[in-house]
Amino acid sequence: MTYRESLSYLDSLINYEKKSDFDYVKSMKLERMRSFARRMGDPQKDIKAIHVGGTKGKGSASSMINSILMEAGYEVGLYTSPHLFSFRERMRVNGGPIGEEEVVKLVDEMRPYIEQMAKEGNKPTYFEVCTMMAFLYFRSRDVRLIVLEVGMGGRLDSTNIVNAMVSVITPISFDHTQFLGNTLKAIAYEKCGIIKNNAVTISSCQKKEAMDVIGRISVEKKARLRVVGKDIIFEIINSDIDGQSFRLFTGYREYARLAVKLLGGFQIENAAAAVAAVEELSVYNIFIPEDVIRDGLDKARWPGRLELVHKKPYVVVDGAQDVNSISRLKEAVKDIFEYKKLFLIFGAMQDKDIDGICRQLRGISYHIVTTKAKSGRACPPETIKEKMLKCDSKQDVVTADTVSEAVKECIGSAEPDDLILVTGSLYVVAEAMQVFAEVDFSASTIKQC
C-alpha cells in the first residue's frame, strides 16, 4: 500500500475519537488489545513507560517529560493523540515524527492479524491499531523509554497494557461524561485505572471528590502517591506573553528558578508534575541532573494549547473543549494579554457540554463567530449560536460554515490592538492554524494558494 492507502485503511476501522454514541464499557475492551499485542509479539513488554492520564494537560505534561528526557540524551519515544495536522505526529522518536514509509510497513505488518481478529468477531479499533503501531515502531527503533499519553479514560484505554514505571494524573474534570460517568468520582475511577501496583503516581491538585478516589486506589494498589500542591510545591515568579518562571520544591530538590514557554498558570502545575515524574525515575537508575531538567523544560513545546501565533493583533489558539478548561483559558487570556476587543472563533463537538461552555464564555468577547470543523461530530454553528444567545441575547454572534470563513470574518474586522481567540476543539484549532499560516496581516487579507 501507499501511505495514503495505509491511512485510508486505518480510517476504515471503527474510530471512537469520531463517535459520540457507543457503549464505553462494551466497546473499550482491554482484553482485545492484549490479544492483539500477543499476536504481535507483545512489543510493549520491552518498554519502560511513563504513563500520563487525566482530563486536561496530559498532552502538555507528556511533552515536557519527553523534552527533559531528550535533553538528558535518552532515546525516547512519545505517543500522543489526537494529531493536529498529520497522523505522523502521534508517534515520535527524539522529537521526529514517524516516517510515511514506516507507517506503510507497520500497517502491512499488522493487517493480517487485524483481519484474522475481524473474522473472529474481535476486530481492533482505530486507536488500538495506532497504539500497537507505536509500540512496534518504538521496538523497531530500539527505543526502550517512552512517554505514553492516555487516549480516553485510562482503565480501559488501549495504552493501559503497559506496566508503567510512573503514572501521572493531570487535572480531572467533566469530559466524555456520556462514557466515563457524570460525576467526578466516576470519572476519576476511570482515570485511576493507570495507577500500577507498588509503583509511583504523581497527581496534579484535584477537587476533593476526585482526590478521594485517587487516594483510595493508590492505597489499594500500594502505590506511592505524590500530589502537586501538597508534596510538590511551586511558586510563580513571573508570567507574560513570552513564557513564565517559577520556583519548585519536590521533596527531592529545590529549584530556585524553572521556566516554561507554554502560557497559562495551569502549565506551571503541569510542569511541576512533569519534573516530579522525571525525578521518580531515579528508582530505575535514570538520574536527570538539575540543569538538564531546567533546559529540557524550557525547550518543551505543545502546539495548539494557549499558543500565541501572532501579535498585532494577538492571535491565540487553544484546544479547550470542556467547562473547566474553558474557564482556565478565559482567566489566562485576561491575565496574560492586554487588548481592546476580543474576537472569538468557537466550534465544538456535539458530545461536549456546549451549554456549560457558552455560560463560561458569556461576556468575554466583542464579536463571536460560531463555526464547525471538518468532523462528523461537529456541532452545527447555528446550534451553537442559539446556545450563545440563550446565555446572553445581547451578544454579537454570527455563524460561519467553515473555519476558514470564520478566520476571514475576524481578520477583516480586528485592529492591531485587538485579540482573536480560537477555541472549543483541537479540530477547529488545527484548521484555523493552517489558515492563519496563509494570512497577510499587514493587508488583512487571506493569501490565495
Residue from 59, 57, 15, 9 nearest 270 by CA: 57
What residue spans define the domains of the chain? Answer: 3-299, 307-446
Q: Helices (DSSP H) in 72-228: which residue ranges?
A: 100-119, 126-140, 177-180, 184-191, 208-220
User: Which pLDDT score, from 0 to 100, does residue 171 have?
Assistant: 93
Q: Write down the pLDDT at residue 24.
A: 67
Contacts with 429 (C-beta within 8 Å, 6 or more apart), sequence order: 84, 304, 317, 318, 319, 422, 423
Q: Which residues on neighbouring strands pair with residue 50, listed in sequence order?
A: 147, 166
Q: How far apart are CA 428 and CA 426, in angstroms?
A: 5
Give residue 444's pLDDT. Answer: 55
- Write b or e for each residue in 417-444: b if 16 or more Cβ atoms lie within 10 A of its Cβ, otherwise e: ebbbbbbbbbbbbbbbbebbeebeeeee
HSE-CB at 53 with a 13 A cutoff on CA atoms is: 28
Count of other CB atoms within 10 angstroms of residue 243: 14
DSSP letter assigned to residue 123: P
How many CB atoms neighbour CB 97 within 10 A? 17
User: Which cell numbers hold the place of 100?
Assistant: 510515511
Q: What is the 3-state secondary structure (H, E, C) of 399-432?
A: ECCCHHHHHHHHHCCCCCCCEEEEECCHHHHHHH
Q: Could you read off the pLDDT of 45-74 as tens digits, one per residue? A: 989 999 999 998 999 999 999 999 999 999
Asked, colleague to colleague, whether 3-299 and 307-446 share their fold, the answer is no
Residues in the chain with pLDDT < 70?
A: 17-25, 176-179, 376, 442-449
Tell me the torsion sign for CA atoms 300, 303, 305, 306.
positive
Class of domain 307-446: alpha beta
The second-level CATH assignment, the architecture, of 3-299 is: 3-Layer(aba) Sandwich (3.40)
Instruction: Answer for the pair 263, 306: CB distance below 8 angstroms, yes or no.
Output: yes
DSSP secondary structure letter of residue 44: G
